[in-house]
Structure 1
């Protein structure tokens, strides 16, 4: 049996959940969503198949507002993670982008998926 692979030389996906750090309700919702991810996917996290990263309280890299990130490398997780976010992201913006051989700019823009309001990324760092 062959191992499942992503299409188009994609090796993994990052999911960035954005929140306005100056709006307490939004920040609290983001924290609660992170806890929900950790509970819903605890087996996959424990196995090392999903990584849940720390909260960034200020913009970092191309990300224009505060955010936290989840990443995963197994194609079979894509449907569960994306559908989880579709149902649970509330009013938060969520960027879902591949990591591929096409480069950071294409991965974060042309090949990206968005849930909620699309954020304007600071893509000049990729040039």
Structure 2
């Protein structure tokens, strides 16, 4: 008797087409932000939206997931908080002592008077 390896058998079905523009608009992102969030060049996204090209299998699957849950990528990969840069020589306000804050207020007032 011949053994059959069922795990090696795969069902290949057609993935449904996706409306990339509608999916992107539901996320509320611009073309560049949406393209960056799903890891494709902006030009690729534009080609998909204008119908010049179609997303490949994995991209179609991701887009189909985003059609059902538009915030999926943002939930999985939240944007890092923006970096706050302070002027050179100035202490970070979140770590300043009361005396440092008072001294800075004095400097601000003094520069305003001059």
From the CA coordinates, give the structure whose radius of gyration is larger: 2
Q: Which has the higher contact order (CA 8 A, sep 6+)?
A: 1
TM-score by length of 1: 0.27
The structure with the greater share of residues assigned to strand is 1
